[in-house]
Structure 1
Amino acid sequence: MSKPVYGKNAVQLKHNDRSTGVVWLLAAAFILFLGWAPFQRGLFNSQQLIFEKPLFVSALLCCLMLFGWVGLNYKKFKLQEQSDLLVLAAFMLPIIYALTLFVAVSHFSAMNMLFIQTMYAAVFIISFYLLKQKQVNLAVQQAILSIAYIIVWFGLLNWLGSGKLAGSLVGWFTNEVVNGTYNGALITDSNGLRLTSIFQYANTYAAFLMAFLFVALFALVRSKMGYGWLIHGFMLVPIIVSMLLTLSRGGLVMMPVVFILLLLFLKSVQQILWIIHLGISGLASLIIASPVTNLGISLNTNFTSSSALKGWSYLLGASLLTAGLSWAVQRYLAPWLRGKLDGENSRKLNGMWIPLSSVALVGIIAFLLIGTGVRSILPDHIEVRLENINFKQHSVLERITFYKDAVKVIKDNPVLGIGGDGWQAVFGQYQNNPYVSHQVHNFFLQYLIEVGIVGFVVFMSFILFIFYKYIRGYAARKQDEFSNGFFYLIIALSILVHSLLDFNMSYAFMGILVFLGLAGMAVVMDSKPLRRNWNKAGVRYGYLAILTAGAVFMLVLSINYISSNNAGNKARQLFSVSQSYDELKAPLVKALKIRPGHPESTIYLSSLDQQVYSQTQNEQFLEESHTLLTTALKREPYDKELLKQLVSYYDLKNQSDLALKVYHDNATKYNWDIDWYSTLISRSLMQGEQALNLKDDAAKQEYFTIGLQAYDHVTAGVEHLKTLPPEQLQGNPFSVTPLIALNAGKIKFMMGEVQEASDILKQALSADYADVTNREIARWYLAALKKNGGQDQAVHDLLIAADAQEAARIDEILAKQY
């Protein structure tokens, strides 16, 4: 097999056909898709009606592009080399997710992930064949880099007070612009104001910035033209400043790791140039970081033109200075370095000494910024973030907890996993403490949870094969042959490495970039010829037939799901303006006919039916509500809102015992939901009192036992939380609330365990006797003491002082026969 021939700036690709109009039409459609995708929040793994449509539209567009590729290549498609087999392997990824539908804990989430995986496979296949053509490859690279730069400036527009302008630029093609500004481009949390741009999550934006910082460095050093040096040099400062503004510790920790890994692929001259350019831009960014940070915070509180102009002056001035220095380095220093070091490049272990030295340099810089006062040059809140980088920091401890809990899920579901995005459904059952994150914060663990060992082995074999063959080919040939492939390696490697610490791949746009990167690497990887058997017409056309059939199926499914989503959204909008049952019901019926059991549409319609029943007492509406809920719960057994809606149904039917059963049977799914357990205890008390009044001792004992078991679960959880490291955040509130203590104390009292009742109630007392709940706690506490022959005069006096009628109420409690 002949080796490919490479030009100065790009690969001379294996298939040397002249680009036809159809090819360029497909390439243009693909580039437009890449530009549209990042601004569609629905592309991110979401469970809201309002966010689903872009996901289905994206899958539809990918299927259409796949048809275009099949139509373009069905005659000349061949399985000639190992790399061609990757198109077969890519098709396995959505098939794996389709298999998990049989075991999925959430059919809704699993179907959404099937759409996303189909989109990834289509992106890989289309990219793989488009990127084999030199000019298309170059066009795609330019487009990706341009899109990345636009996203960077979009974020900075929001940071420097021009959110309305940024929103107006994208509002015409995304539903994320609310009140004129892009939703979540900036977020405020306990760390302060953070830049997120289009991602609405700062850490994922940091991963994106890290990837394209290195892509910009690569493009700068690779470029042979002065304007290329100026453009890419100009962008280094905005990217680095944006990364600092994310306040992402994970990004700052992983950036040197990825940087050193990438240096291993470069010649010594390129390594030195990367370090010089990064040093210049990094220093310039640090100099302006504090004023740009402070001005941005001020501008998003109180906008003034003078402050905005000042902020832009700092940013643009530093960028222009860096661009000029980058031009000078490339124009004068780079040729001199090549003259001095080209002879060294043939030596053994060439290029290793600089990455190894960089490890030491990174260690020194890290020590200075984390362990000394040098970090004071940074803005205050960035300084605090750096100061807190350690293994006892709460986010590190929380991630370790996520990983341990994820392993529990894997042990229980090792073979096929729990289906796409299943972690969000089951994490409440496995979590060690009530943390708020619904993500594992490790893409590979989350993938293993979703598809099990079988699917994980297939996926890892797919990506490791590409990386292995790429690296093997890189080591065996001249580096220039892989210059274009290296562009894609940077993207894939950066995002995947950062995904060891975060859920970047839960954003479908990031997944698109990774699979595009893998395809770009596969195009130029070391690829051996296949045996002739692989190129038989039956194999070739069989694959194309299966691929086409799958694409047709997903296309039809996409169209149907878009129709269902449109109907569901129409109903959602009508709920705020219409009182007509028939008008509200019609679109919901249509939505659920296409997607039976869709949680949000089900809740809308079942709630509507229950409201009509309350007004008319017509049992037909109530039974329709029940049918809808039971159908949905078969597919979504972990959906809390559906279960609560089912409880509402039983309450309307006056079947409070069955309502309690819903809470009791599903309690283990929400081990750290204090509201769930509070309601469970309250309902247990209510049912026990009813049984007591009916003198049904067996039922009373059963219901009270349920309530006390729930109380014991809460107290055990509170004790467990005391064992957490002091640096680790507990998460959501979880404690013995006054209401829980009151109801548990009542149950103990009614069971004759008055000493335990008084102990529970005493712990819940507060000094606020104006509070009704606190007075009731005191009332039952004093009753329990009195029944046990004791008293608490201080509490008694405070209670009577708050309400003189309380003495009579205590006597009423004691007069009852429990």
Structure 2
Amino acid sequence: MDDTAMTKGLTVRNLNMETLTLALFIFCGPFFRGYIFESQLMWATLVISLGFIVFLLRRRLPQDITLYLLLALTAMYAASIGYGTDHREALDSLLKVAFLIPLYIFAQSVTRQWMNRIWMVWVWLTAMSVPLGVATDQFVDGRLAGFIDYANGYAILLLVGIIMTFALSVRGFSSSKWMQIPIFLCAVGICLTESRTVLALLFVAFVLLFFWSRRSFPLLWFRCSANVALGIAAATAYAWSPLLVIPVIVVFVLGYRLSDSMISHGYVRLILLAVVPLLVILALWSGSSMASRWSTLVSRTGEGFTRLVYYHDAWSMVLDSPVWGFGAGTWAYMQYHYQTAAYFTAYVHNQPLQVMIEIGIVGFLIFAAVCVSLVVRGFSAAKQKDEIEAKFDHFRMLACCILMMHSLVDFSLSFPYLLGLLFILGAPSDESASAANKVGRSVTVKTTAGIVTAGALIIATLLLVSDQLQQSATRAIGEKRKADAVLLLDRSASVAIFADRIHDRKARLYMREYESNQDPRYLDVARDENEKSLSGHSEQIWYRKLNSDILWMQGDRQKAVAVLSELVQQNRFMARWREELGQKEAQMKN
């Protein structure tokens, strides 16, 4: 398929709401922290929900098993708001799942030509984010984190970019040489992230790409693998000195100008097969930081052992509530109750375990069924297409599976953007969807989807207004307008669905005022606000710790020490609290 065929049919008339909404979600995600922060998640939900409501007014929904499973999964997360303890966190999780339904339907409905163009723009944006991230110093602890601000999540995004670039090169074979630039840049980025898991998955992906393309597109595979190796070499050279990148870029340009007829010679292929793995191994081994990261996997005190420990702790948590789970967001504060070693992580680095903790084995079975449905239907649809389209679907589903595999050892799918990308990649194209699905005559599914979307829209709007008021309060505090800040926080609490976090923030604000002028009236208000936050989330350890601090300042030292002692017993590895408890007990004896 040439470039003309890829873009044929692209007109303003068929640029509809679902295409615009989907493109906006895909393009903006890598540059807006993957929608991980609440305000970004609310904006994304707001835009997607509005687009889906417009879609529902003029289109019917297909009879689709994956759609039904997504509705069931959304219902599970909605129910977890009621029985979970962290209601506010459960709302965020509900929104992350709820907008998967519109994204999945949009990805099915967008025409193949527009989807080609969206992916083409996306791979270039993703690739260009690497030099832009390096230039703007988007590094965290020496690792390139990109604008997602998380190195491992950025690495898996770049790997998906490489696979989709390879897939697009197959569809538009005449432009495949130009597409080597994104592959080279994404490989540079992956190495700079120092993500061991993604490097291993990169190797697995290229082995599978070789078997799928060795007959039809062998030259493309050789060219891509060579440029990935050069990208890794360039990243390693950059770690030594930025000037050393120049020779690697020169080699890349020379290779770019190398004709396909030259690569087709057998001896050139043999040289590439021998040199490329050697170049990758030498580059990775010579990077001291990467070598040290690999060494921690086998150390008893390193990350490998730590992961096994908190997998064990997470499973213990699952066994305490196996059927329905503890509700979304529970692990972020209950991990301290279950941990058996001194580590900290806000998430379980295993998506199945995280789902089981949140909504139990029942919810996990639904989530697993959704993933299996995506993969099975994706590969089944490829069997009914011509060779090039079938290969494209194979590569697209490979990217989908790579994302799933990465979620087994990392919390990449906790990013709403990467979770949404999983379902966009897995959704069947418009032609295969229309062939496999019948248009639903019943209004039940459409009505249910509309109710879910309307609910998500209302929740996102309220939470967004509340968040904007809190941001205004933060600015007011910075400008020493504390009375205005309190009024803004009160307004924020009035529109927030669950306001325990806002009351906690007010309590801490009044605490600071008491500490600055020793007026006991501020302390009384702080205690009232703290009690309001505890009424909304009685098990939240930071609310309880603040309660202990307030009681101590008010003179009720015995009760303050009792609360702190209980916290220390339940959270054995909070060393600061244990030390503070010892000091306060000593003061009481004196």
Q: CA offsets per residue over residues 263-308 of structure 1, 9 Å max, x none?
A: 55x2532473454124422443355444322224xxxxxxxxxxxx
> In the alignment, is residue 21 of structure 1 matched against residue 13 of structure 2?
yes
- Aligned residue number for residue 467 of structure 1: 375
Contact in 1 for aligned 2:234/2:245 (Cα 8 Å)? no
Shift of 1:528: 5.0
CA distance in 2 between counterparts of 1:526 and 1:401 reads 47
CA distance in 2, matches of 1:663, 1:584: 30
Give the structure 2 partner of residue 196 of structure 1. 145
Letter in 1 for 2:479: V
Q: How does 1:651-662 map to 2 (within 5 A)?
A: 651-662=552-563
| SS at 2:140 equivalent | strand
| 1:553-702 pair list within 5 angstroms | 553-581=455-483, 583-595=484-496, 598=499, 600-610=501-511, 622-687=523-588, 689=589
* Distance (whole Å) between structure 1 residues aligned to residue 285 and residue 551 of structure 2: 62
- Where does residue 410 of structure 2 map in the other structure? 502
Per the TM alignment, residue 553 of structure 1 is displaced from its structure 2 partner at its CA by: 2.0
| Partner AA of 1:143 in structure 2 | V
- Secondary structure at 2:479's aligned position in 1? coil
Q: CA contact under 8 A between 1:195 and 1:202: conserved in structure 2?
A: yes
Letter in structure 2 aligned against 1:403: Y
User: Does the 8 A contact of 2:351 with 2:410 survive in 1?
Assistant: yes
Name the residue aligned to 1:43: 35
Task: Mark the CA change 1:267 to 1:613 in structure 2 (over 3 Å): closer, same or farther.
Answer: closer
Select 2:255's aligned residue among 322, 335, 341.
Answer: 322
- Tell me by how many angstroms 1:197 deviates: 1.3
- TM-aligned CA distance change 1:125 to 1:499, over 3 Å: same
Give deviations 1:449-485, integer Å, cap 9, x for gaps: 2121111111111110221233334457654343443
Cα drift, residue 433 of structure 1: 0.8
**Would the alpha carbon gap of residues 247 and 589 (structure 1) be closer, same or farther in structure 2, given more than 3 Å must change?**
same
Asked if structure 1 preserves the Cα contact closer than 8 Å seen for 2:77 and 2:94, the reply is: yes
Contact 2:116–2:168 (8 Å) recurs in 1: no
Matched letter for residue 91 of structure 2: M
| Closer, same or farther: CA 453–634 of 1 in aligned 2, 3 Å | farther
Aligned with 1:235 (options 182, 189, 207) = 182
**Gapped runs of 5+ residues in structure 2?**
267-272
Instruction: Give the secondary structure class of the aligned counterpart of 1:666.
Output: helix
User: 2:49 is matched with which residue: 63, 72, 87?
Assistant: 63
Q: Is the 8 A contact 1:220 1:229 kept in 2?
A: yes
Residues in 1 aligned to 2:429 and 2:16: alpha-carbon distance in whole angstroms:
21
8 Å Cα contact 2:127/2:183 also seen in 1:
no
SS at match of 1:645: helix
Structure 1 residues 100 and 376: CA distance shift in structure 2, 3 A = closer
Q: Which residue of 2 aligns with 1:546?
A: 448
CA contact (8 A) 1:207 1:251 kept: yes
CA contact (8 A) 2:374 2:426 kept: yes
Which whole-Å CA distance do the structure 2 matches of 1:125 and 1:52 have between them? 24
Q: CA deviation at 1:58?
A: 0.9
Alignment of 1:89-488 (within 5 A): 89-130=69-110, 133-155=111-133, 158=134, 162-163=135-136, 185-188=138-141, 193-225=142-174, 228-263=175-210, 266-270=212-216, 272-273=218-219, 275-296=221-242, 310=243, 313-314=246-247, 316-325=249-258, 328-329=259-260, 374=282, 378-385=286-293, 390=298, 394-475=302-383, 478-488=386-396
In 1, distance between residues paired with 2:355 and 2:430? 22
- Correspondences of 1:64-79 after superposition (within 5 Å): 64-73=50-59, 77=60, 79=62
Residues in 2 aligned to 1:277 and 1:476: alpha-carbon distance in whole angstroms: 29
Query: What is the CA–CA distance in structure 2 between the aligned matches of 1:53 and 1:388, rounded to whole Å?
Result: 36
Residues 602/247 of structure 1: CA separation in 2 closer, same or farther (3 Å cut): same
How far residue 568 of structure 1 moved from its aligned partner, in angstroms, is 1.0
Higher relative contact order (CA 8 A, sep 6+): 2
Offset of residue 365 of structure 1:
5.1
AA at the equivalent of 1:606: A
Residues in 2 aligned to 1:27 and 1:142: alpha-carbon distance in whole angstroms: 14
Q: Matched residue of 1:501: which SS?
A: coil
Shift of 1:517: 0.8
SS of equivalent to 2:143: strand
Is the 8 Å Cα contact of residues 489 and 521 (structure 1) preserved in structure 2? no
Closer/same/farther in 2, CA of residues 501 and 672 from structure 1, 3 Å limit:
same
Structure 1 674/390 Cα, relative in aligned 2: closer, same or farther at 3 Å?
closer
Contact 1:106 1:637 in 2 (8 A): no
Q: Deviations over 1:391-436 (max 9, x none)?
A: 8682221211121111011101211212223211111111121113
Identify the residue that residue 24 of structure 2 maps to in structure 1: 32
Distance 1:639 1:211, change over 3 A: same
Q: What's the counterpart of residue 270 of structure 2?
A: none
Q: Please say which of residues 637-646 and 409-418 is displaced more in the overlay.
A: 637-646
Query: Aligned-pair RMSD on alpha carbons?
Result: 3.6
Q: Secondary structure at the match of 1:575?
A: helix
Counterpart CA distance in 2 for 1:277 and 1:669 is: 57
Name 2:269's counterpart in structure 1.
none
**Counterpart code for 2:253:** L
CA spacing shift, 1:206–1:124, aligned 2, 3 Å = same
The answer to whether the 8 Å contact 2:209/2:221 transfers is no
* 1:76-122 per-position Cα deviation (integer Å, ceiling 9, x unaligned): x254x5xx343333233322211111232322221111122222222
Letter in 2 for 1:256: F
Whole-Å Cα distance in 2 between the matches of residues 287 and 521 of structure 1? Answer: 37
Distance 1:607 1:393, change over 3 A: closer
CA contact (8 A) 2:80 2:359 kept: yes
TM-score (ref. length: structure 1): 0.65
Give yes or no for contact 1:213–1:236 (8 Å, CA) kept in 2.
yes
Amino acid at match of 2:579: S
Unpaired runs of 5+ residues, structure 1, are: 1-6, 45-50, 164-180, 297-309, 338-360, 691-818
Aligned mates of 2:497, 2:527 — CA distance in 1: 14
Distance 1:293 1:594, change over 3 A: same
C-alpha distance 62-318 of structure 1, shift in aligned 2 (>3 A): farther
Q: Could you say if the C-alpha distance between residues 567 and 411 of structure 1 is closer, same or farther in structure 2, counting changes exceeding 3 Å?
A: same
The corresponding residue for 1:344 is none
Aligned AA for 1:276? F
Sequence identity of aligned pairs in percent?
17
- Aligned equivalents of 2:296 and 2:458: distance in 1? 51
Q: Is the 8 A contact 1:56 1:561 kept in 2?
A: yes
| Matched positions, count | 584
- Structure 2 distance, partners of 1:526, 1:271, is 29
Residues 358-381 of structure 1, C-alpha deviation per residue, up to 9 Å, x if partnerless? xxx99x959x977xxx56873333
Cα distance in 2 for residues equivalent to 1:642 and 1:377: 47
Tell me how far 1:61 sits from its aligned partner: 0.6
Hey, what's the Cα distance between the residues in 1 that align with 2:143 and 2:569? 36
Confirm whether residue 517 of structure 1 aligns to residue 425 of structure 2: yes
